[in-house]
A = this chain, B = another copy of it.
Amino acid sequence: MSSTVGSDRTSARFPDRSGKRIPDLRADRTTRARIRDAAIARFPQDGFAGTTVRDIAADAGVSPALVIHHFGSKSRLREACDHHVIEVLGETKRQALHDGTYRQGGTLAALYQVMEPITRYLAWALGSGGESSQRIFDELLEDVIGQLRELEADGLMSPMRDRHRQAATLLVMQLGPLVLHEHFSRTMGVDTLSAEGMLTTAPFMLRIFSGELVNPQFLSEVGSALAEVETRGSYSRKRK
């Protein structure tokens, strides 16, 4: 009711003394922020309905009533979490554009190394529908499209016909390891979200994207089979 500021500034007691408007994502250790972070950690773990206001309050070291006081309701708390994560995502992207991180894998890779809870929340939010889930996906999609365009312009990638759809396909495949990081880590033997894990998995991914795995003959076979289906309407099986 009282403090419904979207991006809560650092410490309500120190109303921005310096003109700094960049939200320092580490320093805002407001109680409000602590509650929000507790929720961001809980929702991916137990789900929205599975997380109780009392759980969040306990994690943040406050009373359940305070959670409601700050965010109005449980679902508005979730909206705040979504908003916050989207903001961090955008901030990371903006920052990644200024140092070299961007060219080495884009926003996602940069995010991995920044804050794990955010990444976890992102993966969860993407999986469990909703409108901000769409917004997150679209934001990531725009990111990939921009990356592709840039790589094309630099001659590092072949120009493609339908860049939008190609980017979407690329994105969902890139997000697979993120959303399923639990299983992925277990199988790979490292935490695939960590820096070490990314170095471990990179060669395997490279081998996929390079096309060195599949035999050219096999590829052209499948390709022509697909072309055939496209021209006709039906699908005639073709072995060997």
Cβ of A180 < 8 Å from any Cβ of B?
A: yes
Q: Is A215 an interface residue (CB 8 A)?
A: yes
What are the 4 tightest A-B residue pairs by CB atom distance, in nearest-first order?
A: A211-B211, A176-B176, A49-B50, A169-B204
Q: How far is the CA of A208 from the CA of B179 in the complex (A)?
A: 20
Measured in the bound complex, the distance between the Cα atoms of B155 and A160 in whole Å is 29
| Docked complex Cα distance between A222 and B203 (Å) | 10
Contact A237 B100 (CB under 8 A): yes
Which residue from chain B places its CB closest to the CB of A175 in the assembled complex? Answer: B176
Residue of B nearest to A52 (CB): B49
Residues of B within 8 A of A24 (CB): none
Alpha-carbon distance between A138 and B164 when the two chains are bound, in angstroms:
33
Tell me how far the C-beta of A226 lies from the nearest C-beta in chain B, rounded to whole angstroms.
6
Tallying the copies of this chain within the complex gives 2
Q: Which of B48, B49, B157, B219 contacts A210 (CB 8 A)?
A: B219
| Docked complex Cα distance between A40 and B113 (Å) | 36
Report how many residues on chain A are interfacial, defined by Cβ distance under 8 Å: 70
Measured between beta carbons, the chain B residues less than 8 angstroms from A166 are 204, 207, 213
How far is A210 from B209 in the complex, measured between Cα atoms in Å?
A: 7
Which B residues touch A172, using CB under 8 A?
A: 176-177, 180, 183-184
Q: Which of A146-168 contact B (CB under 8 A)?
A: 151, 155-158, 160, 162, 164-166, 168
By secondary structure, the A interface counts as helix
Tell yes or no: A214 within 8 A of B by CB. Answer: yes
**A209 contact set on B, CB distance < 8 A:** 208, 211, 213-214, 219
Binds B, one of A31-39, A62-70, A124-132: A124-132
CA distance A168 to B172 in the complex (A): 16
For A126, what are the chain B residues with a Cβ–Cβ distance below 8 Å?
180, 183
The answer to whether A229 has its CB under 8 Å from any CB of chain B is yes
Shortest distance from the beta carbon of A199 to any chain B beta carbon, whole Å: 6
Of the residues B133, B173, B183, contact of A137 by C-beta under 8 Å:
B183
